[in-house]
Structure formats: structure tokens, C-alpha cells
A and B are shown apart, each in its own frame.
Chain A
Amino acid sequence: MAMALPLAYASSVVHPFEAGRLSFSTKATKHKKQIYQFRKVTKVLAYYGLTNPPYKLDALEPYMSRRTLELHWGNIHRGYVDSLNKQLANSPLYGCTMEELIKTTFNNGNPLPEYNNAAEVWNHDFFWESMQPNGGRLPWGGVLDQIEKDFGSFSNFRDEFVHSAMMLFGSGWVWLVLKTNERRLSIVRTSNALCPLVWGDIPIISLDMWEHAYYLDYKDDVSKYVNNFMDHLISWHSATARMVRTEAFVNLGEPKIPVA
């Protein structure tokens, strides 16, 4: 059951209790006894749902094909969600928000078996929302100011991001994060399922560098994939919304108020 949820940090917890009520509401009376029993006996298990990307699967053509999204979201991302739910069915870790689950299962660097699935579910949600049709080009306003402050210029940031992506060996992700301790934007490269949330940093934009993200469209031409992402896919709208939210948690300094 896929549900469209608000941006970024909302948890994807759906109680089957609720789902049950919605689907049984039109059934005949003789089923009500079953429902009563269902309500009384069933232990409430929180599970996670697969969220839809905020655009159609062919909306990112020609930079990311429909087939890639069908596989990447429909099979791979969905696979992680299913695996996670299966693991959590027999685990005391249910009932958390996604972020709590990631931090708990990361276990300070000694990850529990659920970590990979949990983190990849979150990472992919975040990734779909980091892109948009007609994306790319330049950010504006506060985000642009912060980038210029922390990287010198937008083109420095862009070069560094592309370079970081090209330097990644194996599977992983490249992130634009706001480092909470240093209170500045930074580019971070992580392997496999590692997510900057585990260090308390706040991701702003991510790029999936696992081969399954680009192999069908670009094969081994990684540079073209990353450049297309920067020029045509990256969603500065999402980045702006996330930065705004971040400012509730991290003091980025006094705003520049023009003197009259």
C-alpha cells in the first residue's frame, strides 16, 4: 500500500489497525465479529510502507529512464521495504520512526542486521525527493548564500560534488549535508547503506551512486550521470525546504539584515 507523505523527515509508520478499518468498512455485518476478534487479538505491529516518488516514473526522462525507475523504485526500493518488514516482524525494534530506527540499528558503528534495509529505505525516499523533473541549474536565496559561504562559489561546490562522486569506489551515496557541529554545509561520500543521519548530520541532497541507479541509462559513463544529475535533476526546491527545516535545529548565524 503506497501512501504519499509529506517531505523528508515524516515517519512512514502505518498501523494495520487503521488500514484494516478502512478496507473493512463496507463489509457485511457477519464480518463484524471477525473484526472484533481481529481488533482484540492482534498485537499492534508498526510497519513501513513504500512511498511514491513525487513525480511519475517517466517524468525524469531522458536523464533517468522510466525503466530505471521501475526497477530502482518498484523492485529494489520495494524489496528493501519488504525485507525490513519481514525482519521487524520478529524483532523488538518496531514502533520507531525511520530516523530512530536507523540510529538504533547503526549501533555506533556495529550495525545490526536491520540496519542495511532500514537505511536503504530511508536513503531511497530521500533520493527520490532530492530530484524533480526540470530540476538542476542553480539554487537561490538562503541555500545559494549558504553554499557560497561554505564553498566559495556555486561552481566550486558543483566541482567538488562531481569529484566526490567520481572518487567513490564500489557502491555508495554522495551527500550535501549540513554538519551540525561545524554548522556548515559539506559534501560527504558514504559506502553501501551508510547515511549521515547516524552522525547527527542533516542531509540536504543525495545522489545514489550504486550501479543500479545509472547502469541501464549510462552504463559505465559515471561522469555523464553525475553531471546530468547536477544540471537537470537535482531539486533545489527540496533542498530549500530541508534547509528551512534545518534552521530550526542548527544555528547558522545571524541573518544578513540590510542596514537602511
Chain B
Amino acid sequence: MQHHTLSCCGGVRPSLPPPPLSFRWSKIKREGGRRLPRCARIAAQLELKPPPYSLSSLEPHMSRETLEYHWGRHHRAHVASLNNLIAGTDLDGMGLDEIVVVSYNKGNPLPLFVHAAQVWNHDFFWQSIKPGGGGRPSGRLMELIERDFGSFDRMLEEFKRAALTQFGSGWAWLVYKANRLDVGNAVNPCPSEKGNKLVVLKSPNAVNPIVWDYSPLLAIDVWEHAYYLDYENRRADYVSIFLEKLVSWEVVSDRLDVAIERAAERAREDETRRQEDDAAVTHSEAVEMYLDSDTDDSEAE
């Protein structure tokens, strides 16, 4: 959620117009984040969203103190840094998802990536849990879990293993992965919903699966600050309690529905594009492209 404010130096007279966007961005990249003149700055501020429950409602599984620091300080600091770094640049005014993907820069991330991604990740994380969570999922989510992992318990095992073997800081995820290549005009010739799968994966530091074009469904923060106050170094206990007592399977289910819809929509777009390409080829007049003379003599002679 963003709101735009136009900050002016107080007067009515406009100053020099800001330089074109592309110029600004490359200049800022070179100079490591120089800001526009204050009078011309449009500030789109990303806000720190509060979790959908009070900070003490996850006790005793996640203490109020943890939430005060984790949300109130760590998450807040990332929001502030992100706002600072995007102010006056191309990314100002973009949605958070877009900022994350653009700043990931296909694996060569810009400095603001860590802040953008951590804001995204933490928003996602707070919404993935709730007081009185846990239990088992049902409906389509459960069907897909059983289809792709064998059983619900097997999926939990795999998720726990990913969370525990993420060395250093990072996240573990349950994602919905559509069976498509993110390459130019590559199209899946036999698209079907069966090709899309639920997958467990882990990522280091701030990386998240939207940069690989997956649809995340569930995340657990395994940075030490997420559990050190409550569980000290016992990450295994934290992950178990997270899965047994905190996860909101309703939210995960909703996300799955959105993900399936998104995948279906994109498969339809791919199909339309493929049909258009086919039509363009068959109607084209320049079919013979290589022979420009009937003789076999080489032009080199």
C-alpha cells in the first residue's frame, strides 16, 4: 500500500524539471544513490504493515518481545532503508513485488534488493501465521500436498529439513511452481495443471521465490533473530512449533487458489501468443529465404 506525496520547498514556483527517468537511475547507480533536488522529489512511501493480530497474541509460541523487535525494529528498519533508497529513482511508485524483481536484476542484485526483499518477506511471514494456528489443511491444498509429497507428514518433514539445513540466515518456503520456462518465446507444448507442482525450497539471506517466478504459499524465517529470544539456538523446536501451532493453513489455501489462477491465466496467454505466432508464419509471403538464384555456381569464383 502506498500513498504519493509531492514535497515542494514551500513555494509555488516549480524549479527545473527533473532529468528523464532513465538518466536519473543510471546516474544514481553510478553515484551510489544521489538524490534529486528536494523541490522536485516525488516521495512514494511504502508503509510498515502491522501483522493482522496483536503483538502478544502469539504467546507462548512467539513472545511479544520477539515481535516487538522482529517487526518493530528489524522489519521497520528495512522499510525505512527501502524508502530512503528508492526515493527519487525509477522504482519510486512501483509496487513492492515489482521492486523486488527489478532490483534482483536476474541474480546481480542492486544494493536496495536486500531491503525490498526483506520487507516483502516479512509481510508475507506475518500473514502466514496466526494465533491458534496449526492443524491440517483441507480441500485442494491437501489434495495437492498429497499428490506432490505423498502425505502431509512427508511434506512437513521436507519443510523442516529445508528450514534446518539452511546454513546461515535465510528462509524456507512452500511454493507453487508452474511448469514453464521464463525464456523469450519458449512455450510449454502440453500445458496442464498436472505439470504445476508444490515444492519446498530454501533461500539464503533475503532471496525469495518470486524472483524465480514461483508463487510462494508459506514461508518461515530462519534468521536467528526470528527465534533466538524464544528458543535460543534450538531452531528445530522453533520450526516444529511454527508448523504445529502457528501456521495459518487458510491463508496458504487462499494463496494457492490465487497461484493456480495466475498459472492458468499465463498458460492461456502463452497459448494465445503461440497461436498468433503460428498464424503469422503461415500467412507470411516470404517463405523461401535462402535461395536467391537457380544456378549452382558459387559466387566466390
Contacts and interface: CB of A to CB of B under 8 A. Distances in A.
A142 to B, nearest CB: 35
B224 A211 contact: yes
Interface stretch (A16-24, A58-66, A143-151, A213-221): A213-221
A71 B169 contact: no
B5 to A, nearest CB: 28
A237 interface: no
A116 B167 contact: yes
Interface string A148-177: 000000000000000000000111100000
A71 B232 CA distance: 8
Contacts of B228: 211-212, 215-216
Given A170-B205, A215-B225, A75 B167 contact: no
Contacts, number: 52
Contacts of A220: 69, 73-74, 77, 225
Contacts of A172: 168
Contacts of B125: none
A98 interface: no
B167 A192 contact: yes
Contacts of B256: none
A178 to B, nearest CB: 26
Interface residues of B, number: 19
A210 B235 CA distance: 14
Contacts of B73: 219-220
A191 interface: yes
Contacts of A169: 114, 205-206
A68 to B, nearest CB: 10
Nearest to A116: B167
B94 interface: no
Interface in B74-96: 74, 77
A76 interface: yes
A13 interface: no
Interface string B224-237: 11001100110000
A119 B114 CA distance: 26
Nearest to A75: B233
A193 interface: yes
Interface string B213-251: 000000000011100110011000000000000000000
Contacts of B224: 171, 210-212, 215
B204 interface: yes
B169 A170 contact: yes
Interface in B157-209: 167-170, 204-206
B69 A211 contact: no
B101 to A, nearest CB: 19
B167 A170 contact: no
B233 A76 contact: yes
A76 B170 CA distance: 18
Contacts of A219: 69, 73, 225, 229
Given A211-B225, A216-B228, A220-B225, A71 B233 contact: yes
16 contacts: A75-B233, A79-B233, A169-B114, A169-B206, A170-B223, A171-B168, A171-B169, A192-B168, A193-B168, A210-B168, A212-B224, A215-B224, A215-B228, A216-B228, A216-B232, A219-B229
Interface of B: 69, 73-74, 77, 114, 167-170, 204-206, 223-225, 228-229, 232-233
Given A192-B168, A211-B223, 12 more contacts: A71-B232, A116-B167, A169-B205, A170-B205, A170-B223, A210-B224, A215-B224, A215-B229, A216-B228, A216-B229, A219-B69, A219-B73
